[in-house]
Amino acid sequence: MSQTTAVIGGTGFAEFVGMINERWQYRRTPFGPSTLVRGSVSGVDMVFLPRHGRPARFPPHAINYRANIRALRDLGIERIVAINAVGSVNPDIPVPSLIIPDQLIDYTWGRAHTFFDGAIHHVDFTEPFDAALREQLCTITSEVTSPYRLNGVYGCTQGPRLETAAEIRRMAADGCDIVGMTAMPEAALARELEMAYASICVNINPAAGLEGAHQMDFEAMSAALETGMAAVRKILEQLLLNG
Q: What distance in Å separates the CA atoms of residue 229 and residue 61, rounded to the nearest whole number?
A: 23
pLDDT of residue 11: 59
Q: What is the pLDDT along the chain (243 residues), one digit of tens a residue?
A: 446 899 999 856 666 666 667 788 899 999 999 999 888 777 778 889 999 887 778 999 999 999 999 999 999 999 999 999 999 999 999 999 999 999 999 999 999 999 998 878 899 999 999 999 999 999 999 999 889 999 999 999 999 999 999 999 999 999 999 999 999 999 999 999 999 999 999 999 999 887 665 567 888 888 898 889 889 989 998 998 876
Domain CATH for 232: 3.40.50.1580
Q: Which amino acid is it at 243?
A: G
Q: What distance in Å separates the CA atoms of residue 208 and residue 91, rounded to the nearest whole number?
A: 11
Which residues, including other chains, have CB under 8 Å from residue 204's CB and lie 6 or more apart? 85, 86, 87, 95, 96, 221, 222, 224, 225, 228
pLDDT of residue 94: 93
User: What is the number of structural domains in the chain?
Assistant: 1
- pTM for the structure as a whole: 0.93
Pairing relationship of beta strands 153-156 and 32-41 according to DSSP bridges: unpaired
- Where in the sequence is the domain holding 208, given as residue range(s)? 5-242
Q: What distance in Å separates the CA atoms of residue 75 and residue 184, rounded to the nearest whole number?
A: 21
